[in-house]
Structure 1
Amino acid sequence: MQGVAKVAAAAAVVLSAFLSGAGAAELPDLKGRTIVAVTENAYVPLNFADPKTGEGIGWEYDAFNEIAKRLNAKVEWKLTSWDAMIQAIRDGQFDVGMDGITINDERKQQVDFSDPYMISEQFMLVRADEKRFTDGPSFAALKDGLVGAQPGTTNFYVAIYNVLDGDEKNPRVKLFETFGASVQALKAGDVDTVLMDRTSADGYIGAQPGAFKIVGGPLGREEFGFILKKGSDLTAPINAAIASMKADGTFDALNKKWLYDYKSQN
């Protein structure tokens, strides 16, 4: 999800397969070390609470649990809000953070990033019966149209700079504390669109048939990475595990589970 640079994201979230690499036998051994990982639990299907159990589940949970397994490490999961996450990682409160976080130069000044694990693009999610606009330009021309967004996220900045007029105080952007709250506002008719990557949009469409649809085309491209404290000794091992999971098809299997099968079942 996020930043001026979270300027966009992919016609479907696809793996970045730039790295090929070492097999599991060649990976670093963290000797049972506990890695404290943090997420928000509000970004379907990457990280969210299982509606039946309340347990944190999703693509990022499965991916990072597997990374830890390959590195002979344990994961202690924590939750925090999106707006506190980068600072918390910067301050060393947690070892690694994830929330569909876009890799960009502004954030690189505060934290280190892993190699990218996804590439994605931003799309406009609207109510299924929406007929007043069909893309960004026609939405911009709809003078009373409102877009819901979290402050400081990609959906906010893409709305401001790719859809509207570049004024970050534009009153047509209605701010919400969580991503899920902005989608609920869309469903309730309090806003008219929410921008998100295609994976999340498909997740909401699949979970609530007949409630939402996508209009227009992709609004850009972004790469997601895990965030770590500057100079973290975990960055290189995590990157090695990411490379091995790309090479052996593990990420493809996670895509099938969370981006396709989950959507079709929900």
Structure 2
Amino acid sequence: MNLSTFFTAAAISASAIFSAQSVASETSLPDLNGQVIVAVTENAYTPLNFIDPETGNGIGWEYDAFNEIANRLNAKVDWQLSSWDSMIQAVKQGQFDVGMDGITINDERKKEIDFSVPYMISQQFMLVRQDESRFSEHTSFAKDSDLLIGAQPGTTNFYVAVYNVLDGDENNSRIQLFETFGASVQALKTGDVDMVLMDASSAKGYMGANPGTFKLVGDPLGTEEFGFILTPGSKLTPAINAAIKSMQEDGTLEALNQKWFFDYQH
């Protein structure tokens, strides 16, 4: 799936796909015979995973996607929560079977854990306040030493800020660190920082949730692939990969894009 496809509206609704295509795919996918898959997320990365303010339950693109994967594989999901900074290690140690949090597939992480095939391809953009006029791309941002970036340590957003926008110093004081991604966006909203780097998918979610508050500026700063993380050597990996591929082929992933990045109003 490329980015142009990623932002194309689905031709049919998610509910129609799930009812028709899931059944059609069952015969060609592995059968896990009701196995319980312990899945972990953070609930802090809108619209991939976050708390529904009305119900207090975790919802989002990744919840829908992985619930559908389990359905196609005849498995059940036991949802658990973890902070971002401990998630990869916890999955590596087998505390959870699979983790998700908009996690970028890269070689360094592959040394620690296994990845599924990519379920989403996105790019990093500069999210700013709607009334921002001091800069319009990353070079003009970098030149103004008074401007601050909000970031969550250890994330792709943080490293792009360090190496693609600023000077390569991971201790640069212009990067303000926050425990969660949502906290960095809140700091942007209140004026405590001036820019947050964000993949295009989440940017759509935050702009939809806060009409007239944010905008994107500048060109994309790199492309990233998101994947589910699994315990090294997990027997679940090929089954999950097969389910993801079936969801790409039948349009389910496009329908989820439509639901969470275009139709849903938080």
Amino acid of the structure 2 residue aligned with 1:181:
A
The residue aligned with 2:59 is 57
What displacement does 1:38 show?
A: 0.2
The answer on whether the counterparts of 2:6 and 2:254 sit within 8 Å (CA) in structure 1 is no
Distance across 1 between alignment mates of 2:55 and 2:250: 31
Q: Is the 8 A contact 2:115 2:228 kept in 1?
A: yes
Equivalent residue, structure 2, for 1:68: 70
Which of the numbers 11, 32, 35 marks the counterpart of 1:33?
35
* Runs of 4+, deviation exceeding 3 Å: 9-15
Query: SS at the partner of 2:233?
Result: coil
Corresponding residue for residue 144 of structure 1: 146
* Distance in 2 separating the partners of 1:205 and 1:78: 27
Match of 2:212 among 202, 210, 213: 210
Q: In structure 1, which of residues 244, 258, 262 is the aligned counterpart of residue 246 of structure 2?
A: 244
> TM-score, normalised on structure 2?
0.91
Distance 1:161 1:216 in 2: 16
Tell me the CA shift for residue 13 of structure 1: 4.7
**Deviations 1:87-113, CA, capped at 9 Å, x for gaps:** 000010000000000000000000000
1:1-266 alignment runs, 5 A limit: 13=6, 23-262=25-264, 265-266=265-266
Report the secondary structure of 1:132's partner residue. Answer: coil
- Normalised by the size of structure 1, how large is the TM-score? 0.91
- Tell whether the 8 Å contact from 2:151 to 2:177 is kept in structure 1 after alignment: yes
Moved more, 148-157 or 247-256: 247-256
For residue 26 of structure 1, report the CA deviation from its aligned partner: 1.2
Which amino acid in the other structure matches residue 213 of structure 1?
K
Stretches of structure 2 lacking an aligned partner (at least 5 in a row): 9-23
**What's the Cα RMSD here?**
1.6
Provide the C-alpha distance between the structure 2 equivalents of 1:102 and 1:93, rounded to a whole number of angstroms. 21
Residues 122-167 of structure 1, C-alpha deviations (whole Å, 9 max, x = no match): 0001111111111100000111110000000011000000000111
> Equivalents in 1 of 2:43, 2:93: separation in Å?
21
Is the 8 Å Cα contact of residues 10 and 220 (structure 1) preserved in structure 2?
no
Q: How far apart, in 2, do the equivalents of 1:187 and 1:13 lie?
A: 27
Distance in 2 between residues matched to 1:210 and 1:243, nearest whole Å:
36
Could you tell me which residue of structure 2 aligns to residue 18 of structure 1?
none
Q: Supply the AA of the counterpart residue of 2:112.
A: Q
Counterpart amino acid of residue 64 in structure 1? F
> Which letter does structure 1 place at the counterpart of 2:162?
I
* SS at structure 2 position matched to 1:42: coil
Alpha-carbon distance between aligned partners in 2 of 1:254 and 1:206, rounded to the nearest angstrom: 15
The CA deviation at 1:23 is 3.5
CA distance in structure 1 between the aligned counterparts of 2:237 and 2:7, rounded to whole angstroms = 22
The amino acid of 2:65's aligned partner reads A
Contact 1:14 1:119 (8 Å CA) reproduced: no
The 8 Å contact of residues 124 and 222 in structure 2, kept in 1 or not, is answered as yes
5+ residue gaps, structure 1: 1-8, 16-21
Identify if the C-alpha distance between structure 1 residues 152 and 202 changes in structure 2 by more than 3 Å, giving closer, same or farther: same
Task: Report the more deviating stretch, 178-187 or 23-32.
Answer: 23-32
| Contact 2:124–2:223 (8 Å) recurs in 1 | yes
| Contact kept? 2:25, 2:72, Cα under 8 Å | no
2:123 partner letter? E
Q: Distance in 2 between matches of 1:141 and 1:48?
A: 35
Choose between structure 1 and 2: higher helix proportion: 2
